[in-house]
Amino acid sequence: MKRILLIALLALPAFAEKVDLDIDPATTKVQWTLGDVLHTVKGTFRLKKGDLWFDPDTGKAGGLLVVDATSGESGSSARDGRMHKNVLESAKYPEITFAPDRVDGKVAKGTDSEVQLHGMFTIHGAAHEITLKAKTHWEAQKLTATLAFNVPYVKWGMKDPSTFILKVKDFVEIDVETAARTR
């Protein structure tokens, strides 16, 4: 009987401890860069809310990050107006979201890690599969991360704001710095 119980226990998968994170919008910076032939335009967005979880053993992840699409700004009200009206259509699509489903690589406690966060990125009313590169540092109850990825907005159905004179790239570079507390 003891032998059967021991075999049954060894056959059970290890119960991984899920890590729950509350992401602080106040300490999160969402920055974007759009290049063109003459100069580079930089701007920001605000995170509305964010929580996510991941299992360090299996790599499974979940949760939701929500960015306020209407908060996008570049420092030029005329350019921002065109961006919101013609490209993002932020009155119609006021949120940009990311729902992770897995972490490729190990987020190690007490040290720096480089991982990839895979999931669905929803912008302009459509969901797109994407992988974000992330550098993390996890110490005690705090995890900090920097993420970098590109949004191929033209390929994803948004209007190209280029004109005859001004030609911009067909993707926007996104950089995120954030901090989260474990629950």
Low-confidence ranges of the chain (pLDDT < 50): 2-15
Give the residue from 102, 104, 148, 98 showing the smallest Cα distance to 128. 98
- Per-residue pLDDT at 79: 92
- CA-CA distance, 36 to 31, in Å (whole number)? 17
What class, spelled out in words, does domain 15-182 have in CATH? mainly beta
Q: Is 135 exposed, middle or buried (0-12, 13-18, 19+ CB in 10 A)?
A: middle
- CA-CA distance, 129 to 3, in Å (whole number)? 47
- Per-residue pLDDT at 15: 46
- Per-residue pLDDT at 114: 97
- Per-residue pLDDT at 183: 85
- CA-CA distance, 151 to 177, in Å (whole number)? 17
- CA-CA distance, 125 to 109, in Å (whole number)? 36
Give the residue from 31, 30, 170, 176 showing the smallest Cα distance to 87. 170
- Per-residue pLDDT at 4: 41
Domain boundaries, the chain: 15-182
- Per-residue pLDDT at 16: 53
Structure tokens at 54: 């991941």
